[in-house]
Amino acid sequence: MYILSFVFSKTAAHPAVARCLRPCQFALACANFCVLNASYCPNISLKPVRLHMLTVLKLENCEGITFASVAAISHSYMLESGSLSWKLVLRRQESLTALALQSHHLKEVDLSDCESLVNSICEVFGDGGGCPILKSLFLDNCKFLTAVGLCTTSLVSLSLAGCRAITFLELTCPYLEVVHLDGCDHIERTLFCPVDLQSLNIGICPKLNFLRIEAPHLVLLELKGCGVLSKASFNYPLLACSDASFCRSCFIFGILLIIVFRSCH
């Protein structure tokens, strides 16, 4: 198999250049076309394109990508890495569902700044959603996500940084090693059970009132500013260090002391 790569550079944003770009022509002429970077091409459309051998796709800052283009991408059965970031226009949630359900080789997805994403995106990337070997998922700054629930046995890394509207988070990801929650300061209920994290920084969550953690390899836990936490369930026998500064509730300190004491005996 030939490895072919075609890159549309930032210069393609110029109207005179953009009119000359015909991705479908390259797709027809190159049956083994496998890498496409069309970032910073605001007028590009993939509606008529069929790239069956595509493994890597980058469409950052492409305002012209809509439902029809995303539906066309669903024919790329070999897709392993997809970056559809920077305010990608997804007019219908079903378009992304169709993409994921047929992308059984997909290992990494970056949907940061995709403002149209809603909670049902979790069904796309969970077990049974069509991405059985997905390892990394980036959903940073998706402002309409309010309740995120992921149940997957393949996910290793998850980033939800800047998703300030999230109030409920449940991760049933036994192989999850990395999670980023920077800026998720409106979370009220959180469940990590089970996960494979060694360290967890929940950040400053002044509204967090329920927390459940099952992490057999967790060593470091940071709960700064979680002052209204009133109910918690912890199971992390290897915990060695925890920071609960700026937590007003004595309940938090009592729970942490009990857990640390048990983990040391």
In this predicted structure, what is the pLDDT of residue 114? 78
Q: What strand order describes the sheet that includes 231-235?
A: 147-151, 168-173, 189-195, 210-214, 231-235
In this prediction the pTM is 0.77
Return the percentage of the chain with pLDDT > 70, whole number.
67
Check whether 258 has a pLDDT greater than 90.
no
In this predicted structure, what is the pLDDT of residue 18? 41
Check whether 248 has a pLDDT greater than 80.
no
Phi (first) and psi of residue 263, to 5 degrees: -70, -15
Q: For the chain, which residues make up each domain, given as ranges?
A: 1-106
pLDDT in tens, 14-60: 443 344 445 555 555 566 777 878 777 777 777 777 777 778 877 77
Label residue 182 by pLDDT band (50, 70, 90): very high
pLDDT in tens, 203-225: 888 899 999 999 999 999 988 87
Residue 173 · residue 151 · CB < 8 Å: yes
Concatenating the DSSP letter of every residue in 32-89 gives: TEEEEE-TT-TT---TT---TT--EEE-TT-TT--HHHHHHHTT-TT--EEE--SS--
Q: How far is CA 187 from CA 69, 103, 121, 156, 203, in A?
A: 34, 31, 18, 22, 10
